[in-house]
Amino acid sequence: MVPSAPGTQPATPDVALQASSISRRYGAVVALADASMTLRRGEVMGLVGDNGAGKSTFLKVLSGAVVPDGGEMVVGGSPVSFRRPSDALEAGIETVYQDLALVDTMSAVQNVYLGREELSKNPFLRLLNVVNDGGMRKRSREVLSELGVGIQSVNVSVKGMSGGQRQCLAIARALLWGRQIVILDEPTAALGVRESAQVLELIGRLRDHGVSVILVSHNMQQLVQVADRVTVMRLGRTIATRDVADVTPEGIVGLITGAVPADVATPEDTSSVVH
Ligand SMILES: Nc1ncnc2c1ncn2[C@@H]1O[C@H](COP(=O)(O)OP(=O)(O)OP(=O)(O)O)[C@@H](O)[C@H]1O
Ligand SMILES: [Mg+2]
């Protein structure tokens, strides 16, 4: 457990990430007015909301890609303030983007180790920046088989891989690097039924490894299948969090549209969000 500084709240061991009252404007557009989330260790949190509700902006703040105007974040018991994506990576947060996840011309191993290549164990070769190909291949194979990702060879380029395999590889990379939190923005949006099922199963395995997952999806059936809880956003605010066991897909849609009352007051008429 992380020791807490005098005068601060003691760290809560079962909370992986806490974001409170995050706000972000783009000129007159309020992308985030008041977004909050408590993510527990080893849980899958669904994040839902209508188009323009602020989901992607919230994820970008959590992954260090967007600096918020206000609000607080605590990761693993320590306050953090991300200025760039590498800050979030260092704090153990990996984000899997839908399209930018992998480099086409590189192999599965190269993609898994992209930007973090392991140098050769031989001290002379290390000086020449020669990488430890064998070691990286072995570790990649281990992680992929541990996760049940079916890839014929880790050495061929990922160009010919299916969308599902690519998504799985990107998720495996997060696990290989020991990330505690994995953020997925609509990972199954472009996938077929079978491939979506594979990705959802992999998300379940991440949870089995104690990793916390935030998953944005517009597919309520998939969400209730894989998520433990769901956070609903409306007009830049998080308006409700529910245990998935306590809601139906229709109930979640009701919260998204406003047919079901929110847990917090929502000043709908003061929003300047333009779609
Ligand atoms: N870089 C930007 N510049 C200006 N406005 C932005 C920018 N990024 C987001 N916005 C605005 O902020 C609001 C929230 O956008 P965001 O992309 O976070 O929504 P979302 O919930 O992810 O929507 P979707 O479901 O369509 O992906 C929108 O009104 C959007 O137009
Ligand atoms: Mg989005």
Q: Are residues 248 and 191 in the same domain?
A: yes
Tokens 């260092």 -> residue:
90
Q: From the alpha carbon of 233, which atom of ligand 1 is closest? A: 21
Q: From the alpha carbon of 274, which atom of ligand 1 is closest? A: 29
Q: Are residues 167 and 38 in the same domain?
A: no
Question: Using CA positions, which residue lies closest to atom 2 of ligand 1?
Answer: 26
Show the 3-state SS of 30-71: EEEEEEEEEEECCCEEEEEECCCCCHHHHHHHHCCCCCCCEE
Q: Are residues 111 and 228 in the same domain?
A: no
Ligand 1 site, residue 52, Cβ cutoff 6 A: yes
Task: Write the CATH number for 56.
Answer: 3.40.50.300
pLDDT band with cut points at 50, 70 and 90 for residue 107: confident
- What was the pLDDT predicted at 273? 43
| Structure confidence by residue, pLDDT tens digits, 192-235 | 788 788 889 889 988 988 899 999 999 999 999 999 999 999 99
The domain of 106 spans 98-178
| Structure confidence by residue, pLDDT tens digits, 33-89 | 999 999 999 999 999 999 999 999 999 999 999 999 999 999 999 999 999 988 998
User: Residue 17: how many CB atoms within 10 A of its CB?
Assistant: 24
Q: Are residues 240 and 257 in the same domain?
A: yes
Ligand 1 site, residue 231, Cβ cutoff 6 A: no
- What was the pLDDT predicted at 272? 42
